[in-house]
Amino acid sequence: MMRRADFEGIESAPRWIVIFLAANLAAGFLVAYVWNAAGNLFSMQASSGSTSAFSVTVLTAVDLWLSIEVLRRFPRRAPLHSAWLWILLAAAVRFMSETLASLAVCGGSTALALCVPIQWAMLAAAMAQVLRVFHRLGFWRGPRAADWAVCAVVWLFTLRRSGVLVAAWLDGQPTAGADWISLAGLPILCALFLAAMLLRQSLASMGNGLVTRGWAALVYAIFLTGAAEMALWIIPHYFHSLPLLLLASLARLPMAAAFALVPAWQVAAQRHAIQPGSAEPEELPTGLPAMAE
């Protein structure tokens, strides 16, 4: 009975992550509304930004813990074991970067800039393994026109940002090392976006099981990552009066929650699969608890 109660507790992780995200976003938008209603007479960026940064750090810690739980229950010979290892390493990098940024150790912005392309590369390795397994199982689906269009937006953004930075450098304008590090990671983000679009098509034929929801959360996390990168680069060029620090903090919250939902759904599926009499046929093809045997 106690063991079953423990299962029910961790199986509710996706719900609690969504509730935590909704509460923090509501508080953040309330701060932004008050800031705007006050006529920008006072700044709440520091306090609200630090609060959001703490919430993001909490979500990355939950992401890391749940990723460890997932990998701990995956046999080494399971087809997706290496993919979850890369996902775990990416979660560790996210937690480390957010912790350094929150504590302002070694320069928060530099730590974030350096860790971002590293975690993208790890996620790209994980996605390559996932797509390889799905292709072998017959779940492979090619990208559609809409997928190519979404990827093209990211690629055009990469070219535009590269051109602006190189032009500024040639004109002798000062460019920070964090900008070059961020620029170096954009080609990885382009490849990651294409992999996410391929995974999205593959998931369409896998039903709506618990593990499918986890991989769908990974697709949304990558999409939010690219959208945030574009928004946070465009906003300062056209909207100078907006509280950029607050917006950046709010942008990272959904991303952190989406990444945390990936292992949360997988843990729920693993616990659901080993409970007596609870396995459902539609769960078997989705993330393959049976394949992990």
Query: Please, are residues 162 and 183 in contact by the beta-carbon 8 Å criterion?
Result: yes
Mean pLDDT for the stretch of residues 198-223 = 87
**Banded pLDDT at 36 (limits 50, 70, 90):** low
SS3 174: coil
Where do the domains of the chain lie?
2-287
Tell me the CA distances in angstroms from 52 to 14, 25, 96, one per residue in order.
20, 9, 16
134: exposed, middle or buried (Cβ count in 10 Å: 0-12, 13-18, 19+): buried
Tell me the CA distances in angstroms from 72 to 66, 75, 81, 88, one per residue in order.
10, 8, 10, 11
Output the pLDDT for position 261: 94
For residue 234, the one-letter residue type is I
Q: Using alpha carbons only, what angle is made at residue 105 by residues 100 and 111, rounded to the nearest 5 degrees?
A: 55
Q: Using alpha carbons only, what angle is made at residue 108 by residues 106 and 111, rounded to the nearest 5 degrees?
A: 75
pLDDT digits (tens, 9 = 90+) for 273-289: 665 544 443 333 334 44
Task: Give the whole-angstrom CA distance, residue 76 versus residue 142.
Answer: 29
Nearest CA to 228 out of 247, 210, 204 is that of 247
Taking the model in full, what pTM does it have?
A: 0.79
Residue 184 Cα to chain centre, angstroms? 19
CATH code for the structural domain at 2-287? 1.20.1070
